[in-house]
Amino acid sequence: MTSIDRRTFVKTATAAGVGLTIARGGVMGARSQEETKELSIVVDEAEAEYTIDVGGTIDPENLEIIIENLGDTPVVNPRMTVNGLYDWYDVTSLVAEITRDAKTDEEKAMAMWSWVLHTRFQRAPDDRSALHPVRAMNGYGYGICGHTSAWMKRLWTAAGLQARVHEIWGHTVSEAFYDGAWHMLDGNGRVFYLDRDNRTIADVATLERDKWLIERTIHAQDAWVRGPDRPGRNEQFVRYFISHKDNYEEHSYDSEIAKDYTMAMTLKPGERLVRWWGPELGKFEGSRRRPEAPERYANGQLIWEPDTRRIDMRPYVSVPDYGNIATRPEDGRDPAIHVADLQDALHTRPSVFEVPIKSPYPIVGGRFSATLLKEGESGLASVFFGRPRWEAGDLYNFRRGNGTAHVDLSLDPGLLQEQPAYEYAIGFALRGDAQSSPPTQAGLEGFRSTTDLQVSPHSLPALSLGKNVVRYRDQSPGSKQGAKRVRITHRWREISGRHLPAGVATALEPPNGAVVKTLTPQLRWASTTDPDPGDTVVDYQVMVSLRPDCRWPLSPTLYQSVGSRETTWKVPASFLNPGTTYYWRVRARDSRGDIGEWSPVFHFETSDHTE
């Protein structure tokens, strides 16, 4: 039997001049190595900043983040960052985050290429809007070569670079223009090709006529397993480029990536956005056509359960000019939303309205529960998926009898279509009776909408080990004192007793700063260990670069895994030039798959007179 110890305490803090109420709780699992933590903050201003200290020995497992509107006014465009990351609201904020430390156009181009490598995997969403990086990276985190190239073009152009997409017959790649030339950077294939000067990244035109540049380059399919290509893979990429008569510049994605997609949303009173880091619902786009689940995805829910005794629903429902609908605060009558002028023998058209639901994330299902009131036998209260019509409701009909009906409806049949939805509506048709004695009313007293979402776990505001500075902001209009209250809840699992392998500390060969007389030097470093009992270092990864910060490799071929615990790696031939300084670093992976930090950057210089 699992023993659970719950501890909660509440304290009041002031951060950045904003009043916050902070509640903390902890749940200890059966294994002392893991502890689930929860922290809630209530914010009543447009901006707030607070700190979360995460314990343990490695980064935590992030579980859930909730933003909930507890107030009486809408919360417009809530946004969060953790340590300055995850502001993926629009292309502008996305590019600003990715290129924060980039000074030159080359650095901007490479930073965005590197970022895409670590935020996507190979799968095609059944959603054309996923060609846009804001939609794709927040909702899915996956795409094939056409998607990836479209994202690259949109990101580069947003950063002020010229960019273009090439179809190379069987594959799609992107090019950025900087330093007076075009450069091919393939975010899908995780590759670029070093030109013969061993300094410049080649363009498509060069690769079409010089296949040797492709043949000497590896094409990694995994962030860690980086080594010589499997049989046939290199030849495949050669064929893509040398079939140049079939290659052309692609413009069919331009109209989609030019759209101004954002993560704009409004949390209405009583509404909350729940996002998990895992596939808690098991729902994903395209599941009817393709039942195999994505390699990595997550779910969320947009849950709206307004307190109709406290909130006037008029601003939150859609009523046509002929709708004939009133709310309780407008005329003092029950239920919360009802017929304004009761029908009679001459005026029989039902009163109609819709409850609209919108999400910046792809919608993959949902439920709708409601409490309907019909006072008379002759009344009507029907529920529709979408626009209400005059005939019977396609979700529910309350025709016979009178009183209160509690309905709970699955929306999956309407929402799980080939293309994910980003909005929908639940329609209502009501009819009272002005001629009965006494007159009878019909309407909606309350409801709960649960909208199932797909989200990319990469995009969520994740906590990491140590100090986390969380910033919240929204664009809600000013409201009276006390009307706005937003509760933010973080839930994560701290992990103790598990450590990353120790970092490599020393370069042995060549000694740091040495001059070498070969263009294929042997790199050797001091071995490292893993502090966990029974855990060992099983592999190392090496990167060689022209940059002192070793931010990206000189070539993908100079960014490889050793494939064993051996502490040596020989630089492949043809990539180094005489009289040049090169920088390198190394990191370890243990038997659990945990990857250690990079070593300090070492360097060596090739002699002007090499062997």
Q: What are the phi and psi torsion angles at 174 (to 5°)?
A: -130, 155
* Nearest alpha carbon to residue 407 among 379, 438, 448: 448
pLDDT for 510-546, tens place per residue?
999 999 999 999 999 999 999 999 999 999 999 999 9
For domain 91-257, which CATH number applies: 3.10.620, 1.20.120, 3.30.70, 3.30.450? 3.10.620
Average of pLDDT values for 310-320?
Answer: 97
H and E: helices and strands count for the chain: 10, 33
The yes-or-no answer to whether 6-83+460-495 and 91-257 have a common fold is: no
Position 104 pLDDT exceeds 50: yes
In this model, does residue 483 exceed pLDDT 50?
yes
From residue 263, give the alpha-carbon distance in Å to each of 9, 89, 203, 414, 478: 34, 5, 34, 23, 21
Domain 6-83+460-495 is of which CATH architecture?
Sandwich (2.60)
pLDDT band for position 50 (50/70/90)?
Answer: very high
Q: With 90 as the cut, is the pLDDT of residue 419 above it?
A: no
In DSSP notation, 6-24 reads EEEEEEEEEETTEEEEEEE
Rounded alpha-carbon distances, angstroms, from residue 578 to 500, 546, 557, 581 = 37, 13, 18, 9
User: Quick check: 101 pLDDT over 70?
Assistant: yes
Amino acid at 277: W
Homologous superfamily (CATH) of 507-606 is: Immunoglobulins (2.60.40.10)
Q: Using 50, 70 and 90 to split pLDDT, how confident is the model at 7?
A: very low
User: Residue ranges of the domains in the chain?
Assistant: 6-83+460-495, 91-257, 307-455, 507-606
**How confident is residue 479, by pLDDT bands cut at 50, 70 and 90?**
low
Q: Indicate the pLDDT class of residue 1, thresholds 50, 70 and 90.
A: very low
The answer, yes or no, to whether residue 10 has pLDDT greater than 70, is no
Instruction: Work out the mean pLDDT of the chain and round it to a whole number.
Output: 92
Q: What is the pLDDT of residue 3?
A: 23
The reported pLDDT for the residue numbered 480 is 59
Q: Strand 581-590 to strand 537-545: parallel, antiparallel, or no bridges (unpaired)? A: antiparallel
What is the residue type of 580?
Answer: T
Q: In what order do the strands lie in the sheet with 515-516?
A: 515-516, 602-606, 581-590, 537-545, 559-561
Please tell me which of 241-250, 417-426, 470-479, 572-581 the model is most confident about, judged by mean pLDDT: 572-581
pTM: 0.92
Q: What class does CATH assign to 307-455?
A: mainly beta
Structure tokens at 190: 């995780």
293-297, 465-469, 572-576: range with lowest mean pLDDT = 293-297
By the 8 A CB rule, do 342 and 378 touch? no
Q: Of 456, 377, 425, 574, which Cα lies nearest the Cα of 121? A: 456
Rounded to whole angstroms, the Cα distance separating 176 from 107 reads: 11
Dist. CA 407–CA 440, nearest whole Å? 21
